[in-house]
Amino acid sequence: MIITKKVLRNVSLTAHPIGCRRYVEDQIAWVQKHAHDASNPAYPAADNLSLPKRVLVLGGSTGYGLSSRIFAAFAAKAATINVSFEREPTENKTATPGWYNTMAFEKKATEAGLKAFSVFGDAFSNEVKEKTADLIAKELGQVDLVVYSLASPLRNDPVTGQTYRSVLKPIGPAFTALSVDLDSDVVKTATIEPATNEQVQETVKVMGGEDWSLWVDYLMERNLLAPNAMTVAYSYIGPKITYPVYREGTIGKAKEDLERTAANLTQKLESIQGKAFVSVNKALVTRASAVIPVVPLYMALLYEVMKERGLHEHCTQQIYRLFTTLLYANTEQILTDEQGRIRVDDWEMLDEVQSEVEKRWALQREGEILKGGDLAGVQEEYEQIHGFGFADIDYSQDVDPRVI
């Protein structure tokens, strides 16, 4: 079949197997190159660091989780297990990009002599936790690192069976701000109605720390966390302009809960000298973030400002910096902010970057084409994470969606 890009309300419905493979291979090549290069202080060589050798990544098929898995395998030579939620391909329907990415990753990892396994299913369920634990016990013995990188619209509570849905809404008054339509480049006003109390609670249930904690409890109970094991989950803060819908909204409440969970988990992990961290990462185009109103406009302006200053990074660069300069930097203490969070959003949050974004934001007018901004860059990244938009791939070729 000829696989074309199909996007509905900023959600891509298709993915290209050859393009997804290219995306994964490019990230692997970038990591391999930098892992042996001691000349770049921003991305130091990984060769002499004590890096984890057995890594579990929850949500390791796309975005930050995939980059974490790529780093673990191709910089640390770790055996990896991914847990993710995927749709498999059929003869005439494409798989999720995460499925293609995983197939491509595991092929490369196996070729490199690295163990790589996946559990496809609902990470919130007891069944998947048990299956994953069995796999760790059988194949890896224990794990040295658990990366928690799930981004999900819903969660079925394994005990009560109740379904919780996460929403991205302000708390208190409705929030109105400019946004940009990814297809037409036209600036428009978006109003988001406030969340009910119930929606706040549900979002915390889905995107807060409860499930992270359940994973760590269960793995500890089964004695599957190695001495000194670490666990890290990803969070976001972002600029003041998105506070009402993000940090001070429903998802912000969930992230606060996730951040509190890190402290609780560190206490639980004391018996094995383990530690739990939250890393605050940069705003990047992923399948989860592209659907957040206001965010595409912010990202278009942010990408432009950061690229002009040579500070733009993609998921893999962020994760590379997180692992080599912070989590496993061999320092006596891991550098955090006052709330104990690791910050790799430091370049995004620089005053000079934020004030420039604000200036460019103030120039935008509803109904007009976006002035400046790197919407093309945002669109390109969004296409590429679905396997489209690579100049040297011939998308008019007939391909079997089941073959990677």
Q: How far is the CB of 58 from ligand NAI (least distance, A)?
A: 7
Q: How far is the CB of 233 from ligand NAI (least distance, A)?
A: 7
CA 160 to chain centre: 28
Binding mask 81-120 for ligand NAI (x = CB under 6 A): --xxx------------x----------------------
Q: How far is the CB of 368 from ligand NAI (least distance, A)?
A: 26
Instruction: Count interface residues toward ligand NAI (CB under 6 A).
Output: 28
Nearest by Cα to 344 from 368, 357, 365, 325: 325
Query: Angle, to 10 degrees, between the axis of helix 63-74 and the axis of helix 97-111?
Result: 0
Q: Which is nearer to ligand NAI, 226 or 288 (CB)?
A: 288
Q: CB-side exposure of 205: number of CA atoms within 13 Å? A: 21
Q: Which is nearer to ligand NAI, 107 or 272 (CB)?
A: 107
Binding mask 26-65 for ligand NAI (x = CB under 6 A): ---------------------------------xxxxxxx
Residues between 124 and 143 that touch ligand NAI (CB under 6 A) = 124
The closest residue (CB) to ligand NAI is 63
Residues between 242 and 281 that touch ligand NAI (CB under 6 A) = 281
Residues between 319 and 378 that touch ligand NAI (CB under 6 A) = none
Long-range contacts of 270-273 (CB under 8 A, 24+ apart): 272/220, 272/225, 272/226, 272/227, 272/228, 272/229, 273/227, 273/228
Instruction: Yes or no: say if 67 and 318 are a contact pair by the CB < 8 Å rule.
Output: yes
Q: How far is the CB of 62 from ligand NAI (least distance, A)?
A: 4
**20 lies in the binding site for ligand NAI (CB under 6 A):** no
Tokens of 107: 């092929």
Tokens of 245: 């819908």
Residues between 142 and 181 that touch ligand NAI (CB under 6 A) = 149-152
101: left (phi over 0), alpha (psi -120 to 50) or beta: alpha
* Candidate list 35, 123, 147, 216; residue touching ligand NAI; CB under 6 A: 123
* Candidate list 182, 284, 297, 357; residue touching ligand NAI; CB under 6 A: 284
Q: How far is the CB of 123 from ligand NAI (least distance, A)?
A: 3
Tokens of 130: 């048990």
Nearest by Cα to 319 from 286, 355, 270: 286
Per annotation, catalytic residue among 23, 100, 164, 246 = 246
* Candidate list 289, 340, 361, 395; residue touching ligand NAI; CB under 6 A: 289
Q: How far is the CB of 176 from ligand NAI (least distance, A)?
A: 22
Distance CA 268, CA 229 (A): 12
- H or E element: which one contains 219? helix 210-221
Q: Which is nearer to ligand NAI, 60 or 401 (CB)?
A: 60
Q: What is the DSSP string of 28-63?
A: HHHHHHHHT-TT-TTS--STTS---SEEEEET-SSH
Q: Which is nearer to ligand NAI, 226 or 296 (CB)?
A: 296
**288 lies in the binding site for ligand NAI (CB under 6 A):** yes
HEC sequence for 365-390: CCCCECCCCCHHHHHHHHHHCCCCCC
Active site residue 246: yes
Sign of the Cα torsion 114, 106, 43, 22 reads positive
Q: Which is nearer to ligand NAI, 52 or 98 (CB)?
A: 98
Q: Which is nearer to ligand NAI, 25 or 45 (CB)?
A: 25
Secondary structure class of 318 (helix, strand, coil)? helix
Distance CA 137, CA 82 (A): 15
* Candidate list 283, 297, 300, 319; residue touching ligand NAI; CB under 6 A: 283
**Active centre residues (catalytic):** 246
What residues make contact with ligand NAI under the rule CB under 6 A? Answer: 59-65, 83-85, 98, 122-124, 149-152, 234-236, 281, 283-284, 286-289
